[in-house]
Amino acid sequence: MRNYNNPLVSIIMNCHNGERYLKSSINSILKQDYKNWELIFWDNKSTDKSKKILDFYKDKRIKYFRSNTFMSLYKARNLAISKTKGKYLCFLDVDDWWTKSKISSQINILKKNKKIKFIYSNFYYYYENKKIKKVFSNNLLPEGKITQDLLNNYKVGILTVMIKKDLFKKKKFNSKLKIIGDFDFFIKLSVKEKFHCVQKPLAYYRVHNSNFSKNFNIHSNEMNKWIIRNSNYFIKKNYSLNKLHFLNTKLKIKNLFRLGP
């Protein structure tokens, strides 16, 4: 029987050789004070002990899928989405983790206001080498129709998102993108939908030497191509991409000097 008061939340975790931090991520899901969830664990052809670690958890809410071939992150996420049964979707990578009230803080808002389809939150950077945490944003994060805010200064961490699954019916993540697939999807979604935000941090983004997002060359190249492809669309809707051009230039400089986040 379906529990309409506590809708099922599907959590998508993509994994490729994630054994180092996997336990921390999964434990943060198991400790959630909201219990009606399923974990779609998508093993992107791992060759380490990730599957062995996952098998340790005897929880029927954890559902394991494995790719026959290694695929792009966003293709894997799209396939994982196709396996979900929940009304709402969340995303958590194997090196990040949530506070115990992450799901409940967001689901309670969604239950009170049925018009909200997308909600995100602040989060912490956790610097693995120094063992310190830092709040991602000390300023209030934008809410409502925030497309221009996001084009000026994108601040939606996918690890903080809760989104109504229906929004993926017509459009999926662009599987050709390696780093900015969530940026692409959420920016375009913001043109049509109002975004809601929980201002307190609900997640931890682990900063370590292997973060793929640190590949500033791929990041800046993808962003440059994205700007070229999408400029006309946003300009016709009276949005400015000037700040995005500036930020992408900074990204290229980071690549040049190999600067960290």
User: The domain that contains 200 carries what CATH number?
Assistant: 3.90.550.10
The answer to whether residues 152 and 196 belong to one domain is yes
Q: What are the tens digits of pLDDT across the range 203-232?
A: 999 998 765 445 778 888 999 999 999 999
The answer to whether residues 231 and 131 belong to one domain is no
Q: What are the tens digits of pLDDT across the range 20-34?
A: 999 999 999 999 999
Three-class SS state of 63: strand
The answer to whether residues 179 and 223 belong to one domain is no
The answer to whether residues 147 and 230 belong to one domain is no
How far apart CA 248 and CA 40 sit, in angstroms, is 33
Residue 254 — pLDDT band, cuts 50, 70, 90?
low
The answer to whether residues 200 and 239 belong to one domain is no
Q: What are the tens digits of pLDDT across the range 100-119?
A: 999 999 999 999 998 999 99
The answer to whether residues 234 and 203 belong to one domain is no
pLDDT for the residue numbered 64 = 98
- H/E element, 142: none
- Residue 237 counted as domain residue: yes
The answer to whether residues 170 and 246 belong to one domain is no
- Residue 171 counted as domain residue: yes
Whether 159 contacts 123, CB under 8 Å? yes
pLDDT for the residue numbered 1 = 39
pLDDT for the residue numbered 219 = 87
DSSP state of 79: H
The answer to whether residues 199 and 219 belong to one domain is no
The answer to whether residues 204 and 259 belong to one domain is no
User: 10 Å Cβ neighbour count for 181?
Assistant: 22
- Residue 17 counted as domain residue: yes
- Residue 3 counted as domain residue: no
How far apart CA 83 and CA 99 sit, in angstroms, is 25
Domain boundary pick from 169, 186, 210: 210
Domain boundary pick from 171, 195, 210: 210
Beta bridge partners of 134: 125
- Residue 30 counted as domain residue: yes
pLDDT for the residue numbered 155 = 96
The answer to whether residues 103 and 170 belong to one domain is yes
- Residue 169 counted as domain residue: yes
Indicate if the pLDDT at residue 171 is higher than 50. Answer: yes
Q: Indicate the number of domains in the chain.
A: 2
Indicate if the pLDDT at residue 165 is higher than 70. Answer: yes
Range of the domain at 87: 9-210
Residue 78 — pLDDT band, cuts 50, 70, 90?
very high
- Residue 2 counted as domain residue: no
Q: Which residue do the tokens 């996997």 mark?
A: 22
Indicate if the pLDDT at residue 2 is higher than 50. Answer: no
The answer to whether residues 188 and 219 belong to one domain is no
pLDDT for the residue numbered 257 = 57
- Residue 220 counted as domain residue: yes
The answer to whether residues 247 and 120 belong to one domain is no
**Across residues 176-197, what is the average pLDDT?**
97
